[in-house]
Amino acid sequence: GAGVSQSPSNKVTEKGKDVELRCDPISGHTALYWYRQSLGQGLEFLIYFQGNSAPDKSGLPSDRFSAERTGGSVSTLTIQRTQQEDSAVYLCASSWGDRRVGAFFGQGTRLTVV
């Protein structure tokens, strides 16, 4: 596709359930990021994939959060045993390896845990 695609756009889940959020990056982009944005707040880094290198997982808030990137393309962010504080917009971004170029973002998934 022409841009970064995230699905679903909105997700409401019950506390304690697991959720999977999907990100389709721009074709050819080697870098992929996940960020979390709570209401009215800035972007909190979660995880970063760059090519075949080991991902930078330093931003994951707990072991309930995990992410994978298959075939260097699609990425899935999984949150297990969701809690109400997990409610936020989850943004995915991708970029070329050239660090001069900023990342391109998807429209995010709004997760609401009830």
Partner 1 sequence: AQTVTQSQPEMSVQEAETVTLSCTYDTSESDYYLFWYKQPPSRQMILVIRQEAYKQQNATENRFSVNFQKAAKSFSLKISDSQLGDAAMYFCAYRKETSGSRLTFGEGTQLTVNP
> Using CB under 8 A as the criterion, which residues of the chain lie in contact with partner 1 when the complex forms?
33, 35, 41-43, 45, 48, 50, 53, 56, 89, 91, 93, 99-105, 107-108, 110
CB closer to partner 1 out of 25 and 108? 108
Question: Which is closer to partner 1, CB of 14 or CB of 99?
Answer: 99
In the complex with partner 1, the residue whose CB is nearer, 79 or 88, is 88
The answer to whether residues 69 and 63 touch, using CB atoms and an 8 Å cutoff, is no
* Residue 26 Cβ vs partner 1, minimum distance, rounded to whole Å: 13
Q: Least distance (Å) from partner 1 to the CB of residue 28?
A: 17
Number of H helices, E strands in the chain: 0, 10
Bridge partner residues of 23 (DSSP): 6, 75
Q: In angstroms, what CA-CA distances link 96 with 50, 107, 110, 111? A: 9, 19, 26, 28
